[in-house]
Structure 1
Amino acid sequence: MDEELLALLAGHKLGVLVTLKRDGRPQLSNVNYTYDSARRLIRISVTADRAKTRNLLRDPRASFHVRSEDGWAWTVAEGDAELTPVAADPQDETVEELIDVFRAIQGEHPDWDEYRAAMVADRRLVVRLGVQHAYGQPQR
C-alpha cells in the first residue's frame, strides 16, 4: 500500500465514512476519527441507532475518504468494518475503547465519569475499519 496515501489519514481527524444502504447506494457521514498507522486501523465513535451503524451491521464493507486542506491530495481507504458491542456499563471494554478514541481525537475530557455515563446513555460503540486497500492522490 502507498504509505504517502496512508500518511494523509494520520494527519487528519475529520473524514467521510461511506457505507452501503440496503438498496446498494452509498450513505456518507462526516465523522471524527483516529487512525493507528501501525495497525492500519481507523476508529470512529458512533451511536447504535444511526444509519451508518445499521448499514455496517448488515454489510461490513466500507470506504473512508479524507482530503488535504487544499483539496488536491486525497485518500480513500477501503476495508471491512468490525463493530464493538454497544456500551452497556460505564466500566465495560467498549467504554474504555471509546475513551481511547476520544483522547486520540480531542485529548483529555474534563469529567471522565460524566463521559462514561454519556457513552452508555447514548448507546455508543466503536467502528474499527481495518485498511485493506487505499487509493487516491498523495501530497506533492
Structure 2
Amino acid sequence: MEFSDVRNFFANNHRGVINTFRQDGSAQTSIVVCGVSPFEGDDGPVFVTVRGTSYKVRNLRRNNRCNVMAVAEDWRQFAVAEGTVTLHDYQNTDDEEMRQMLRTAFRACGDNEHPDWEEYDRAMKQQDGVIVRVQPDRVYGLIR
C-alpha cells in the first residue's frame, strides 16, 4: 500500500493517534488531530502539537521515527503511516513563515478556519507550537 492509497482517508478523517519512541525504545502514544500535508514537496500526514515541550516532541527530537494513525468516526476504518518526521517550530523557522505554516497546517487538520486567527497565532507562539510532517515509508490500514 502507498500513501496515495490512503491520502483521501487522511484528508477526511482527522482523529489520530501517534506513537513516538522513548529513550528506552518503548512506545509513547498520544492523540492528535491530523491531516494531509499541504506543504510543497510533501506527500504524507501532518499534525500540529500545541506544546513544544510535550513528550511526543521531545521523543521526536531524539528519534525522528513515528507512526500516525487516522481513524474514521465510527472506528471501523483506519490508515497508518510510519516514517520519519521533519519538525518546524519557532527555533528553526522564521516567525512570519511559521505563523503562516501553522495556519496552513491547522486548516489541513480540520477543514475549517479558526474563529480568531490572532488569538491562535499568540497561543502557538507562547506555547511553542510545533508542526510535525511525516514522510511515510510504510503504509497500511483497513479502508472499505
TM-score range, shorter chain: 0.7 to 0.9
- TM-score of the pair, normalised by structure 1: 0.84
- Residue 92 in structure 1 maps to residue 96 in structure 2: yes
Q: Distance in 2 between matches of 1:2 and 1:82?
A: 17
Residue 132 of structure 1 aligns to a residue in which SS?
strand
Q: Distance in 1 between matches of 2:11 and 2:93?
A: 31
Alignment-mate amino acid for residue 120 of structure 1: K
Identity among equivalent positions (%) equals: 29
Q: Distance in 2 between matches of 1:45 and 1:81?
A: 12
> Which segments of structure 1 move beyond 4 Å, counting only runs of 4 or more?
87-91
Q: Gapped runs of 5+ residues in structure 2?
A: none
Q: Gapped runs of 5+ residues in structure 1?
A: none
Alignment-mate amino acid for residue 20 of structure 1: F
CA root-mean-square deviation: 2.5
- Residue 109 in structure 1 maps to residue 114 in structure 2: yes
- Residue 43 in structure 1 maps to residue 46 in structure 2: yes
Post-superposition CA distance 1:71-107 (Å, at most 9, x none): 3322211110110133799952112111112223152
The structure whose Rg is larger is 1
- What is the total number of aligned residue pairs between the two structures? 139
- TM-score of the pair, normalised by structure 2: 0.82
Q: Distance in 2 between matches of 1:85 and 1:64?
A: 19
